[in-house]
Chain A
Amino acid sequence: MIRKPETFDEMLADPHTARSPYSAYFNWFGSENLKHLRRKSADAEAFFRRIGITFNVYGQDEADERLIPFDIVPRIIAADEWTRLERGTEQRVRAINAFLHDIYHRQEIIRAGRIPREIIAGNAAYLPEMIGVDPPGGVYTHVVGVDLVRTGENDFFVLEDNARTPSGVSYMLENRETMLQMFPELFTQLRVRPVSRYPQLLRRSLADCAPPGFSGGKPTVAVLTPGIHNSAYFEHSFLADQMGAELVESQDLRIENGRVVMRTTEGYHPIDVLYRRVDDEYLDPLTFNPESLLGVPGIMDVYRAGNITIANAPGTGIADDKALYSYMPEIVEFYTGESAILKNVPTWRCSEADSLAYVLENLKDLVVKEVHGSGGYGMLVGPAASKKELAAFEAKLRARPGNYIAQPTLALSTVPILTKSGLAPRHVDLRPFVLVSPDRIDMTPGGLTRVALKKGSLVVNSSQGGGTKDTWVLEG
């Protein structure tokens, strides 16, 4: 019989004692009035509604925009814990960029037999159009959101590397803004590292990757959004606004003098760096999906001629593909010569017969994910599934084993949320945001903490009823 592993509570060592990063907050909380805090919580929600940060949930009514619930109890990370995460993440992101360069050039890692080529061949995330392309500044993933989970005092795992267009950074910024408004006194008691420089750092790191020979004093950066119907439109317009960059859509752009230019009030103006929030498939109807109305026809040609920077580079999805995830420790070692600082979650590849047999045998204890899925869609959480759901999933697994990977159900750490009766533990994960420029990697001290609001639930995805918390990294 598998014994249920103990859950690590990040705040409390026992019901009356807070762990060190939380001690000041815990004391403050003890002196506060619960009713008063509940009111603050309602204020926070009103604040979010006012600024309009909403989120579209797929699979529900299309027009159903709703707020991601925000919890006012912060998630607090000690300085030394953060330093370790920072080193591990930087190592991983460095390896991912080296991997992407290799996989679109000489493919040494395949020649060396460290990853099977089948995982690349026939993978839709691998774009032949990127073969031989050298992105300006040598950077493929300008922005990475690495999803981390914790299972113990010193046990952090990488759950996913989001190397295409990770979203959620606007929540990191708005959550902090809200907390500063609600609880200014807390920020005088605790030395919390600021996150507010993120938009400026993003702008700087994008500009540092501009192709040489831009006109004017500094590179022109623009944010490409699919439009107001996209679930993350708020974030696109927010980031453009915060960076002082133009927010553009397909119809604002065209090709002129070998460049991508945008319509402005003073005519067309060339773009040096396009921070695109449009998926690869829709980016260029001349090269990819000809039906796309969201992209820029010819932009891949401009890119391949070296006349624009696309952030993130097309084809980076191959690095965060779930089929590849299980090889990440190898990848880190191959390109950095070091063993991975951050652990991978043990993963069974259902494409392999032995693994499939194990997974089918232990389905009720495992989490099974679609190789190409995201956002928590199409996954099975064994321990939470009914007999009927398990049987249905077993059939899917047998029909297309190569489409799935399985992982043990991790005992995700908890951080308390505020409920009617006070603090109550809920499971969390963490998505810090990493910016890559030609000569540096910056991880903003903080990130998006997602929390499963339902008691006992392990699914933190906002599309599945998760909420968010502000994430505090303490000064050393």
Chain B
Amino acid sequence: MQLRINHVTTYTYSEPVFYALQQLRLTPRSGHGQTVLEWSSVISGGTKQLSFDDQFVNHTELVLVDEGVQTIEIVSSGVVDVVDRHGITGRHRGFAPVWLFESATPMTEAGPNLRQLAREVKSETDSGDVLGRLHALSARIAQSVRYETGRTEVTTKAESALAAGHGVCQDHAQIMISVARLLGHPARYVSGYLMMNDRVEQDATHAWCEVWDETLGWIGFDVSNGIAPDDRYVRVAVGRDSRDAAPIMGLRQGAGTEDLHVSLQVQQ
């Protein structure tokens, strides 16, 4: 399926910017069932400084916000052809070893709630059926952590989202990652785009997770939608947690506040 994506991120600052940087992981890569046919990112109110591939082979760009502006707009758009591989991303790429995805990060550190969930899934499912166990885990998370926007933050950790019982795709993915690791499976975070069938205007960028299996490779799980990623999903960045794969990571010096607005269209 060919997906046409137009993703506009706008930051509005209450004071003219003195010095600020934005690190972008917004460029999808061809491979693993997706082919990037065209892609561009255009920035107004800022200047691209450089680009490189990070440790997880995510294409990364650094942008310096122009001094004195009060708005910066980042437009990422293009066309990606995706094949339905029923959630199987497949083989591992790059120098980052798979074992790097075995240990917890500060965002995915397990507390009593996550450990309890891991114990329950372990005792209720068959250890010989890895896929079955992971699907059960995904369903359990969707059930106990209601999808609700505006109640968790980008800084919310997996343990607190599980304890709160509500969250968004980021929280779902990080909870799944944390528990999968507790159960002995390397797991990683994926940020990207999803075309919801019933609409062109999407609420936000999407996030899901992938769990490593020695035979199949990386397998995707979208906890929030209860499905395996198919040809409506575009993978953009991966990492150990949401911080590694964040579409935008910023740093600003000086006073004032900032507002973020995202507009996203994904269509065939």
Q: Which residues of A contact B (CB under 8 A)?
A: 104-107, 110, 117, 121-122, 128-132, 254-258, 285-286, 290, 297-298, 301-302, 304-307
Least distance between A133 CB and chain B CB atoms (Å): 8
Interface residue B102 (Cβ < 8 Å from any Cβ of A):
yes
| Docked CA distance A276–B239 (Å) | 28
Question: Do B50 and A132 touch across chains, with their CB atoms under 8 A apart?
Answer: no
Q: Which residue of A lies closest to B47 (CB)?
A: A257
Question: Do A305 and B21 touch across chains, with their CB atoms under 8 A apart?
Answer: no
Question: Do A255 and B52 touch across chains, with their CB atoms under 8 A apart?
Answer: no
| Docked CA distance A132–B60 (Å) | 14
Residues of the A chain whose Cβ atoms lie less than 8 Å from the Cβ of B53:
132
Interface residue B231 (Cβ < 8 Å from any Cβ of A):
no
Question: Do A130 and B55 touch across chains, with their CB atoms under 8 A apart?
Answer: yes
Chain B 86-118 interface mask (CB, 8 Å, partner A; 1/0): 000000001111011011000000000000000
Least distance between B26 CB and chain A CB atoms (Å): 14
Question: Do B55 and A132 touch across chains, with their CB atoms under 8 A apart?
Answer: yes
| Docked CA distance A306–B51 (Å) | 10
Least distance between B194 CB and chain A CB atoms (Å): 27
Q: List 24 A-B contacts (CB under 8 A).
A: A105-B95, A107-B97, A117-B97, A121-B102, A121-B103, A128-B240, A131-B94, A131-B95, A132-B95, A254-B19, A256-B49, A257-B49, A258-B62, A298-B21, A301-B49, A301-B50, A301-B52, A301-B62, A302-B50, A302-B62, A304-B52, A304-B54, A305-B62, A306-B52
Residue of B60, B64, B100 touching A256 (CB-CB under 8 A): B64
Question: Do B99 and A301 touch across chains, with their CB atoms under 8 A apart?
Answer: no
Residue of B21, B55, B57, B62 touching A128 (CB-CB under 8 A): B55
Q: Which residue of A lies closest to B64 (CB)?
A: A255
Q: Which residue of A lies closest to B48 (CB)?
A: A258
Least distance between A244 CB and chain B CB atoms (Å): 28
Residues of the B chain whose Cβ atoms lie less than 8 Å from the Cβ of A304:
52, 54, 60
Question: Do B102 and A298 touch across chains, with their CB atoms under 8 A apart?
Answer: no
| Docked CA distance A444–B95 (Å) | 36
Interface residue B260 (Cβ < 8 Å from any Cβ of A):
no
Most B CB within 10 A of own CB, among A117, A256, A290, A304:
A304
Residues of the A chain whose Cβ atoms lie less than 8 Å from the Cβ of B100:
121, 128
Q: Which residue of A lies closest to B21 (CB)?
A: A298
Question: Do B50 and A258 touch across chains, with their CB atoms under 8 A apart?
Answer: yes
Q: 5 nearest interchain CB pairs?
A: A131-B55, A258-B50, A305-B50, A304-B52, A301-B62
In the complex where A301-B23, A305-B51 touch, is A131 in contact with B102 (Cβ < 8 A)? no
Q: Which residues of B contact A (CB under 8 A)?
A: 19, 21, 23, 49-55, 57, 60, 62, 64, 94-97, 99-100, 102-103, 240, 249, 251
Q: A110-B97, A305-B62 are in contact. List 7 more A-B contacts (CB 8 A).
A: A132-B55, A132-B95, A258-B50, A285-B251, A297-B21, A298-B21, A302-B50
| Docked CA distance A81–B60 (Å) | 51
Question: Do B249 and A307 touch across chains, with their CB atoms under 8 A apart?
Answer: no
| Docked CA distance A254–B64 (Å) | 10
| Docked CA distance A306–B49 (Å) | 12
Residues of the A chain whose Cβ atoms lie less than 8 Å from the Cβ of B21:
255, 286, 297-298
| Docked CA distance A104–B52 (Å) | 16
Residues of the A chain whose Cβ atoms lie less than 8 Å from the Cβ of B19:
254
Residues of the B chain whose Cβ atoms lie less than 8 Å from the Cβ of A107:
95, 97
Question: Do A132 and B251 touch across chains, with their CB atoms under 8 A apart?
Answer: no
Question: Do A106 and B64 touch across chains, with their CB atoms under 8 A apart?
Answer: no
In the complex where A122-B103, A132-B95, A286-B21 touch, is A305 in contact with B249 (Cβ < 8 A)? no
Q: Which residue of B lies closest to A132 (CB)?
A: B95
In the complex where A255-B49, A256-B64 touch, is A129 in contact with B249 (Cβ < 8 A)? no
| Docked CA distance A302–B23 (Å) | 11
| Docked CA distance A294–B179 (Å) | 36
Least distance between B70 CB and chain A CB atoms (Å): 20
| Docked CA distance A440–B50 (Å) | 31
Q: Which residue of A lies closest to B96 (CB)?
A: A131
In the complex where A255-B49, A285-B251, A304-B54 touch, is A117 in contact with B96 (Cβ < 8 A)? no
| Docked CA distance A131–B96 (Å) | 6
Least distance between B182 CB and chain A CB atoms (Å): 15
Question: Do B251 and A129 touch across chains, with their CB atoms under 8 A apart?
Answer: no
Residues of the A chain whose Cβ atoms lie less than 8 Å from the Cβ of B60:
301, 304
Least distance between A280 CB and chain B CB atoms (Å): 15
Residue of A104, A106, A129, A258 touching B49 (CB-CB under 8 A): A258
